Amino acid sequence: MKRAGIPIIYPLILLCIMILLPSVALAQVAGKITKVEGSVDILKSGTAAAVPIKLNDSISIGDILRTKSDGKAEITFIDNSVMTVGPKSRLGIEEYLFKPEAEKRAVSVKLHRGKMGFNVPKPVYSAEGSKFEMKTRSAVAGIRGTTGILITGIQADRLYISNGLGALTNRNGTALATPGTVAESFAGRPPSTRPFSPSEFNSHQSSLTITPRPSGGQGQGSGGQSAGGAGAPLAGDVPAVPAATGGRGNLGSVPSAVVTGSGAGAPQNAIPPIPINNNPKIIPPPAPAPTPAPTNSNVNINVNFPTP
């Protein structure tokens, strides 16, 4: 009787393991919340109701982060990649495998709606199966050591690249985006690439900037939160593109404007201020000289205009 029962018990144990394995995988931590502003909640894997997030909350595989119209959140992942989710957006974490000792990283996230900035420091991991992809409802963005912005909407998906390389793929083809360009995907046709203006990029980037609270505290629901306190640099934010560039080429930094003045800390090549004379001396104009009598009334005056 005991022998007859053994074959029945083993399949039951195996079935339980197969049922539990997905839950264990979904509970793996992928990162944590490092900044938050406004109304943001998270739908944890295996739960039916979303809960508000707060600073340093963990983000796991299977979670969906949701922002309201006033909400923004920054996630720092286990590989030091950073994503900033803008207002009215929804980001799901589908896969996040990171094994630096094996040179492997396999990442897949999905932007269901809205906008997000990203900063992925390391370009490529050499192990088989490594990838870094960001999905939308109709396209997939692949990136390599990249800083930029991904936007998904009803009519189009857009991948802005300010540094590194990116590619946007839909069922009709692929478009490669380099610094200073945006790849666009419209329904029914292959993606295309065009240069973007600094003002276009910065308008999207400004909506992703999270303002730290002056007190540096950890509130919930309203106001900004930052691990760096008041005035801390927004390390995970997408850097703004300079307002003046030379076309679609390099979008590097523009030298700071020269500051006038001679106080401490002023640059050595600063333009000196114009001196002001508070006691001007009024000098009367000289008397007009007498007009000489004409000697020849038939003088021809030739004016030579420069040749255009």
- 3 state DSSP class of 173: strand
- Burial (CB count within 10 angstroms: exposed 0-12, middle 13-18, buried 19+), residue 25: middle
pLDDT value of position 301: 34
- Beta strands at 173-177 and 29-37: parallel, antiparallel or unpaired: unpaired
Kindly give the residue spans of alpha helices, DSSP state H, lying in 27-96.
none
CA distances from residue 53 to 33, 80, 91 in whole angstroms, order as listed = 8, 20, 14
d(CA 142, CA 140): 7
d(CA 40, CA 84): 12
pLDDT (tens digit, 9 = 90+) per residue, 164-175?
999 999 999 999
44 pLDDT tier (thresholds 50, 70, 90): very high
pLDDT (tens digit, 9 = 90+) per residue, 89-147?
999 999 999 999 999 999 999 999 999 999 998 778 889 999 999 999 999 999 988 99
Residues in the chain: 308
- 3 state DSSP class of 206: helix
Return the half-sphere exposure (C-beta side, CA atoms, 13 A cut-off) of residue 243. Answer: 3
d(CA 226, CA 33): 9
d(CA 95, CA 77): 12
46 pLDDT tier (thresholds 50, 70, 90): confident
Phi, psi of 106, rounded to the nearest 5 degrees? -125, 110
d(CA 74, CA 295): 88
pLDDT value of position 125: 87
pLDDT (tens digit, 9 = 90+) per residue, 236-285?
444 444 444 433 333 333 333 333 333 444 344 433 343 444 454 444 55
d(CA 208, CA 228): 17
Q: For the chain, give the percent of residues with pLDDT over 90.
A: 55
d(CA 98, CA 133): 14
**Could you tell me which CATH number the domain at 26-211 has?**
2.60.120.1440
Average pLDDT over residues 60-86: 97
Q: What angle do CA 19, 136, 115 make, to 5 degrees?
A: 115
Task: Compute the mean pLDDT over every residue in the chain, rounded to the nearest whole number.
Answer: 75
Q: Report residue 93 as tokens.
A: 């974490």
pLDDT value of position 213: 59
Q: Report residue 295 as tokens.
A: 């000697």
pLDDT value of position 80: 95
d(CA 299, CA 131): 86
Instruction: Name the residue ranges covered by the structural domains of the chain.
Output: 26-211
Return the half-sphere exposure (C-beta side, CA atoms, 13 A cut-off) of residue 143. Answer: 29
